[in-house]
Amino acid sequence: MPLSAEPVAKPIVIAHRGASGERPEHTLASYERAIALGADFVEPDLVMTRDGVLVARHENEISGTTDVAARPEFAHRKTTKSIDGEAVTGWFTEDFTLAELKTLRARERLPKLRPQNTVYDGQFEIPTLQEIIDLVRANETAAGRRIGLYPETKHPGYFQGIGLAMERPLVAMLEKNGYSHAGDPVFIQSFEAENLKELRGLTKLRLIQLMGAEPHFAAMTTPEGLKSVATYADGVGPAKALIVPVSKLGKREAPTRFVADAHAAGLKVHAWTFRVENYFLPADMRKGLNPRGRGDMAAEIRLFVELGVDGVFSDNPGEALAALE
């Protein structure tokens, strides 16, 4: 029997980088598609431009999600930097003004797994946080429902170190748009505890400590570690493997006590990331041998709901919502 937590309300569905299973991630088209499918929250990952504007990209290195490498006028901007201790080569948002980034066009990050999305390559700009908020607000009016924002600060310590700290600009942007109270439909997430602790002193908006399955998160995932997280955050965003480990051969292992321990510490649990492609699913939930074939994501989501999660991040919010019905 799986370890189950106390009964919870219907989990929220967070559109991971928008409806990124159907449109190139972090584009207004991706967020708009997610809203049309009924997602409760849209998730923009945020990085900074050279002129201090918050824009949506999964990483500050943008060669994988834009056409920058094909732009001869920016060839000289290619460089190697140390990002969180790792050498990364490419083109970085902090070396471009917003006006320069707006000349680039988005492209599908996973073309081999999602060839259907490549038909949109070259169509969409890099959006600013304000443009995403404007889109959300316009759709709230049209749909007659609140639509949540779930921004993630990407590499905030790195950006702080180069004089482009994200915390105050992010809080100011959200407050300017009417998001300032704990009850507002906003969660701010980060992998970096120091970033969240600084944000805790700046805002009453709910904060989420992200956690990967890597060893350096291990202390944070213990009952004691989760109690410590609860002193500055309202919830945790664990990788799926922290709740249901999967072997190197793709076999699901026994669920852990993570959800129960997090709930005992008073924390919400929003697990990531649920995707329809076989490549991302445990072996017994795949259909066929093609890595990009569509497996049984719904079964995986239902398993995690049984284990008590309060929310799911999904590249496929339409299918995620259907799985919760």
The predicted model scores a pTM of: 0.96
Q: How does pLDDT run across 60-88, given as a tens digit for each residue?
A: 999 999 999 999 999 999 999 999 999 99
Could you list the active site residues?
Answer: 16, 58
Token representation of residue 29: 């088209």
Residue 7 confidence (pLDDT): 47
**One-letter amino acid of 109:** R
Residue 147 confidence (pLDDT): 98
| Torsion angle (degrees, nearest 10) of CA 57, 63, 67, 73 | 110
Q: How does pLDDT run across 191-226, given as a tens digit for each residue?
A: 999 999 999 999 999 999 999 999 999 999 999 999
Burial of 155 (0-12, 13-18, 19+ CB in 10 A): buried
Q: What is the mean pLDDT of residues 258-279?
A: 98
CA distance 175 to 169: 10
Residue 9 confidence (pLDDT): 82
For the packed helices 28-37 and 129-143, what is the interaxial angle rounded to 10 degrees?
30
Place of tokens 């460089």: 79
pLDDT band at 1 (very low <50, low <70, confident <90, very high): very low
pLDDT above 80 (res 180): yes
